[in-house]
Structures are given as C-alpha cells and as structure tokens.
A and B are shown apart, each in its own frame.
Chain A
Amino acid sequence: MSTPRPLTLIVNGEPRALQVEPRTTLLDALRERLDLTGTKKGCDHGQCGACTLHVDGERVLACLTLAQQAEGRRITTIEGLAGPDGTLHAVQKAFLAEDAFQCGYCTPGQIMSAVACIREGHAGSAAEIREFMAGNLCRCGAYPHIVAAVQRAARALEQETLA
C-alpha cells in the first residue's frame, strides 16, 4: 500500500497542507479533507460536470484529476468565486435572477463552467452557450434558464469591462 504523503494545494488563494494517498482525486481531497463540499460528485467518471472547478483559470473536472496532479496549480472552487466581502460573482447573481436551477446539485459545476465559458468567449449566442456548456448535465432539466443566466451574466460582465 502507498502511504499518504504530504501535499500542499493552493485553493482559492490559500495554501492548504494535507496528507493524501496518491490515488486520491482532487474532488475527494477537497470534499473529504478540506471540507469544501461545494464542488459536487455526480458520476465520478467525467460524464456530468458536477465537479467542475478551475485549475490555473481553466475549467476542468475534479473527479478525473489526481490531487497530486494539481500540486502547485491555482485551484478555484465555487467557494472562492464571490468577492472577499461576500459580493456574488456576476454569474452567481445571474443564476439567481434567472432561477437557473431546481434541486441545485449541478449548480456549482454549472456556475464554474459558465464563468470559464464566458471568459473563453464562447457565450456569443444561445446556440454557442448550449454547445460550450454541454459538459454540464442537469437532471432537473433547467437548461433554458441556465442558458438565459449565462447570457445575462455575459452581458453584465461585458458592461463591467466597458464601464
């Protein structure tokens, strides 16, 4: 058996020291060791997107990433999205405004994916949003509201940069 080994992860701007077995995924390390349960486990096989977070600013799946692979990288989870004073991110506000969820289980992954989708420049039209949000499944079928929320957030962020 491989014994747990020390590892430092940079999560939401803070270095976090922990001991994990090499096989521990980033998802399990965050949820089980660091009590950051905002990142959800849906399928655990890369199929649903519930575990989406950002590594070095890019959206990836925490369930198919070993915690070891993320060593030295900047990890951002849903817990790190709002401002230090608690001001919600434009995408979070838009999900509330558009009622873009039902049970809410897929929502953290949807929001992290949407933040990246807009940043990548893939939120130009409803069709483009549907294609570039395809990696996030919603079992409640809130898709029309999710697309509306991404469009609303993209507009808000565009206005922010113009202002």
Chain B
Amino acid sequence: MMDFSYARPADLAAAGAALAAGGMALGGGTGLLDLAKLGVARPVAVVDLTRLPGLDAIQVSETEARIGALVKMSRLAAHPAMRAALPAVGQALLASASPQIRNMATIGGNLLQRTRCAYFRDAAVGSCNRRNPGSGCAAVGGVTRGHALLGVSPHCIATHPGDLAVALVAFDAVVETWSPNGQRLLSVHDFFLLPGATPGQEFALAPGEIVTGLRIPLAPVARQARYVKLRDRASYEFAAASLAAGMSLGVDGRIADLRLALGGVATIPWRARSVEAALIGEHPTPAAIAAAAALAMREAEPQPDNRHKLALVPALIERTLTDMVGEPA
C-alpha cells in the first residue's frame, strides 16, 4: 500500500479543507483500504470523517427517514422504526457483506463503493476505462459472468455491486451533501452516473464534496417492501441478481403503486420502470405478472458468460411479486 498521511478533522469545515487540498475521504475504510492495498486507489492524504459530530443519527417520522452518513450498516439494519417503515432497507443491509464489515462500514461509504469487476480491481491489467480513462475495457471479451447487462456502454460493463443502493433507488431516496459551497440535496436517480464515454465518473459529486446523509420518503408502498438477493453461495457474496420490490393494491384489487429496482445486473442500481408501468393499474394476475416481468431485460445487452440472467431476472421478479400477492401486508 502506498504511503499516505492521515488526518482526523473535528468539523466539516476542516474536513472540507483537507479534501480540497487533495485528500481522500475515509469512512469505515472497508472499500478504500482494500483498493489502496491493490494499488487501485492511490491516496496521498486520507481524511478520516468518522469522528465528525452530528452525522450518525437515524430519525424516522411518518413521512421520511433521515440517516446520517456515518451511521454503520449494522446499526441501520437493526433499527426498529426503520425495519417497520421500510423493511427492504434492513433486508438489503443484512444481505450485504459480513457482520464484521457491517459493523465497520458507513452508509456514506456504502453508497460510494466501487465495482467488484476483476479487471478494475487488478492494477496490473492495463485496459480499464474506469481506472485509466481511454485505456480500453479488458472485461469485454473477458470473463463476464458477473458483468452488467443493463446500462452498459462500449467503454465499460462493470456491475454496480451495492445492495442498499438498489433499495434506495426503488424508493426515491435523496442524498444530502456538504461542501464549502453549502448543502445540496440530490435525487439518488441523479447520484449514480451511467458509464457512457466517461466510466471514471461514477457519482455526481464535486471533488471534495462530502456525503452527509440520506433522506428516504416513506410512502405506504414502502411498508411491505422487500429485498431479495440471489447469489452463487448462500451468504457473504455479491448479488448474481437482486430485487427491491414494493407493491400496494387499491380497494379495487388493482396495483396502485409498484416499485422495482434491480441489483447485480446493471452498471448502476437499476429502476425497472417498464415493468412497473406495465403493472400499475392492473390486477396482479399470474399472467399479467409474467408478461410484465419479461419486459425487465428487454433492453439488456448480454455478454457470453451472463446470458443466463436474461431468464434469471424475470424469474426473480415473477417469483417475488407472486409471493407478495400471496402474503398481503
């Protein structure tokens, strides 16, 4: 690991100054230190944010949850009011990483986690547009079982690996940030950037901008939402495909609101809007669910090793929605 300096600022202003001077933010360190040891992240100055005051609260009201960026994954997963208001969040977190990592990792760092693409993580691989703009993409034509089918570009097919972010995209969360220019609120839909021609730009953050928290609107559809994760082994593994799903039925038995977002198959956490649109206003019959689920991968661009996900994702949606219809809240 490259040598670096270490600072532990006592307030946001000092943290902002240290980051403006070229520092890299440190939350739990479970992503940054891993990548620094691999030589993929090359911090010169590390700015430990974890003792900044006031960024570790969880507040849940009738209409909104507010979560400080320094809250640990394990604490949010176990929060009783949060589990009741939006169970998909706790489920996504408990399906993430390991108990040890969840005790270390912050919600802010979790949102900013980098892809697990093996070519990105191997600094000896020359071609990676995400790491080294303009160098090409070694994944195209490589081993692509874990790579993305949705939101890909000719320049990058790396999968977004996070679980929590999938639930946040399903429920229209808002990211709070702070920089010396002030506070900013941005929709999670604008936060994650498609790779396009600039895969190195992954988040809509200015250099040195600090994520200070999250706001999640608590719509009725959130209450019985769930997160389902399919993996190559039973636990402690990134998603082969995952789904955050929330559904509410009207008094007429038709689907009134539906939220579906996919993980493990796209370059950013992926809202399955075409499936939602096909089902909202319909009766959730097996035929309607199956027909709508089939739309999820219509725009997919598979690689030789990940074609099985063309069937896996619709099956996941169909199974989950069928279960939800069978067990209404």
Instruction: From B28, B38, B236, give the contact of A135 (CB < 8 A).
Output: B236
| Contact (Cβ within 8 A) B6 A66 | yes
| Contact (Cβ within 8 A) A135 B3 | no
Q: Does A98 contact B (CB under 8 A)?
A: no
**Chain B residues, Cβ within 8 Å of A120:** 99
| Contact (Cβ within 8 A) A61 B104 | yes
| Contact (Cβ within 8 A) B33 A59 | no
| Contact (Cβ within 8 A) A65 B104 | yes
Give complex CA distance A132, B103 in Å.
12
| Contact (Cβ within 8 A) A1 B29 | no
| Contact (Cβ within 8 A) A1 B3 | yes
Give complex CA distance A64, B98 in Å.
13
B112 vs chain A, min Cβ distance (A): 15
Q: Does A42 contact B (CB under 8 A)?
A: no
Question: Given A44-B37, A64-B29, does the pair A69, B103 have CB atoms closer than 8 Å?
Answer: no
**Chain B residues, Cβ within 8 Å of A58:** 74, 103
A59 vs chain B, min Cβ distance (A): 5
| Contact (Cβ within 8 A) A23 B4 | yes
**Considering only CB atoms, which chain A residue lies closest to B2 in the complex?**
A23
A30 vs chain B, min Cβ distance (A): 16
**Chain A residues, Cβ within 8 Å of B26:** 66, 69
A149 vs chain B, min Cβ distance (A): 17
Interface string of A84-95 (1 = CB under 8 A from B): 000000000000
Give complex CA distance A65, B28 in Å.
8
A123 vs chain B, min Cβ distance (A): 12
Give complex CA distance A28, B34 in Å.
15
Interface size on B, residues (CB 8 A): 30
Interface string of B1-31 (1 = CB under 8 A from A): 1111110100000000000000000101110
Give complex CA distance A68, B36 in Å.
16
**Chain B residues, Cβ within 8 Å of A130:** 234-235
Q: Does B46 contact A (CB under 8 A)?
A: yes
Q: Does B50 contact A (CB under 8 A)?
A: yes
Q: Does A52 contact B (CB under 8 A)?
A: yes
Instruction: From A21, A61, A136, give the contact of B30 (CB < 8 A).
Output: A61
**Considering only CB atoms, which chain B residue lies closest to A22 in the complex?**
B6
Q: Does A79 contact B (CB under 8 A)?
A: no
Interface string of A113-155 (1 = CB under 8 A from B): 1001100101000000011101110000000000000000000
A147 vs chain B, min Cβ distance (A): 13
**Chain B residues, Cβ within 8 Å of A46:** 30, 34, 100-101
| Contact (Cβ within 8 A) A2 B4 | yes
Q: Does B163 contact A (CB under 8 A)?
A: no
**Considering only CB atoms, which chain A residue lies closest to B98 in the complex?**
A135
**Chain A residues, Cβ within 8 Å of B38:** 45
B5 vs chain A, min Cβ distance (A): 5
**Chain A residues, Cβ within 8 Å of B8:** 68
Q: Does B48 contact A (CB under 8 A)?
A: yes
**Chain B residues, Cβ within 8 Å of A52:** 100
A25 vs chain B, min Cβ distance (A): 7
Give complex CA distance A66, B26 in Å.
10
| Contacts A/B (CB < 8 Å), 23 sampled | A2-B5, A22-B4, A23-B4, A45-B34, A45-B38, A46-B100, A46-B101, A49-B98, A58-B103, A59-B99, A61-B104, A65-B29, A65-B33, A66-B26, A66-B46, A68-B8, A69-B50, A120-B99, A122-B99, A131-B235, A134-B234, A134-B235, A135-B97
Question: Which A residues are within 8 Å of any B CB, using their own CB?
Answer: 1-2, 21-23, 25, 44-46, 49, 52, 58-61, 64-66, 68-69, 113, 116-117, 120, 122, 130-132, 134-136
